[in-house]
Amino acid sequence: MGDYIYILVPVSIWLLIQIWKFLYDMIKVKKVNLKRLLGAGGMPSSHSAVVTALATLVGVNEGFNTPIFAITVFFSLIVIYDACGVRRAAGKQARILNQIINNKNLAANVVNEKLTELLGHTPFEVLVGSVIGIAYALCFVI
């Protein structure tokens, strides 16, 4: 695979997880929701899987004591923090705003656009995504 491994593995794990979430949602809700293919949130975290797969590949192939590994680890931590913290908080705010919008007394004076609530991940979703990302990457380097 050569240097393409650094692109193919993260892209393929993202694609596999998004397809998994789409199929799981379709079976659970019994409705096709194409937004689940590209949407954020849900189990497992594809964001966490992608960045941990990339960091794992770099660590195994380039060394765990290299500047590029340090960069990928800190990049991963920032993405995971965002997925678990910032976007999750935004999702909670969206849920509250949607409740306000759905209140007919308030809705006349508020925008009638429903906000996306499933933006972030629980710590468990991030952990599972990270473990999947590491395991998937190791399949290509061991």
Alpha-carbon Rg for the chain in angstroms: 18
- Asked if the model's pLDDT at residue 113 lies above 60, the reply is no
Domain ranges of the chain: 2-83+122-141
Q: Which one is predicted more confidently, 133 or 84? A: 133
Residue with tokens 């993405």: 79
Residues 49-59, mean pLDDT to the nearest whole number: 94
Terminal Cα distance for the chain, rounded:
13
Residue 55: what pLDDT?
95
Residue 109: what pLDDT?
56
Residue 90: what pLDDT?
72
Residue 81: what pLDDT?
83
Q: What is the pTM of this model?
A: 0.69
3-state SS, the chain, equals CHHHHHHHHHHHHHHHHHHHHHHHHHHHHCCCCCHHHHCCCCCCCHHHHHHHHHHHHHHHHHCCCCHHHHHHHHHHHHHHHHHHHHHHHHHHHHHHHHHHHHCHHHHCCCCCCCCCCCCCCCHHHHHHHHHHHHHHHHHHHC
Band of residue 71 on the pLDDT scale cut at 50, 70, 90? very high
Band of residue 29 on the pLDDT scale cut at 50, 70, 90? confident
pLDDT in tens, 35-52: 777 777 777 888 889 999
% the chain with pLDDT above 90: 32
- The span from the CA of 63 to the CA of 137, in Å, is 15
Residues 9-21, mean pLDDT to the nearest whole number: 92
